[in-house]
Structure 1
């Protein structure tokens, strides 16, 4: 089996791969390429491959001005779950968040993503809030690392 290759998306192909994983894992919030280009300017994005096969992506939202809270999100496509890839993406994101000065780590998971909620709880996150975005029918779950 090939080793997981994780890189920052630096061209449209890699950004489209990041977008594909995001939009597959979060079907209720489809991002356009303009949305993705905006995110890559504000957040630290990574995309993961097993050889040339797209496996997952991650997002680290660094602490905003005046806070010490970062958000770390690891997403893995369904056929690749349960193999440790999410853990590897998460650990990299956690290190990046801490390097950026975060003292509090949060994540957000779509409530219908049972695998994602199980993953977050297994890694020490506890639920702090559920909310619906305008027009949505599936809530998001904010969780904080305890």
Structure 2
């Protein structure tokens, strides 16, 4: 890992980069540009670069009516995994999430074995598994055991 930069989604270029990472890692629930713009009104969306290379993205979702926990999601493109990027993005998100909520949760597509392994290694425990309407691959909701 050389020079990781984590920047907010604040223009069309960063929005399209965030979309590219999200849709590659979660192919069962791709998001349109308009859906991402809507998410920007309620979530913190950021993209991560190693120099000029796009390596990942993140979402920090504030607590909602359903939970007092903040949701942190760090995504790293497969070609950049196991190089410290996920750890750096996760720690960045975790700090933001702790400012917002009483606990930390994450949601990972069950087929993303690297993501599930990473979360469990960092102390997350499975809370539930759920399917989005029309999906065939479930998401796993995990909570950080602190």
Paired residue secondary structure (2:83): coil
Paired residue secondary structure (1:133): coil
What displacement does 1:65 show? Answer: 4.7
CA RMSD after TM alignment = 1.2
User: How many pairs were matched up?
Assistant: 145
1:40-75, CA deviations, whole angstroms, 9 ceiling, x for partnerless residues? 111011100011110000000011258421100000
Q: Look up the match of 1:50.
A: 50
Paired residue secondary structure (2:41): helix
Q: Look up the match of 2:31.
A: 31
Find out whether 1:89 has 2:89 as its counterpart. yes
Q: Look up the match of 2:12.
A: 12
> In the superposition, relative to structure 1, how do residues 117 and 34 fare at CA in structure 2: closer, same or farther (>3 Å)?
same
1:89-115, CA deviations, whole angstroms, 9 ceiling, x for partnerless residues? 111111111112x11110000000000
Q: Look up the match of 1:61.
A: 61
Task: Give, in whole Å, the separation in 1 of the partners of 2:71 and 2:51.
Answer: 28
Paired residue secondary structure (2:22): helix
Task: Give, in whole Å, the separation in 2 of the partners of 1:52 and 1:12.
Answer: 16
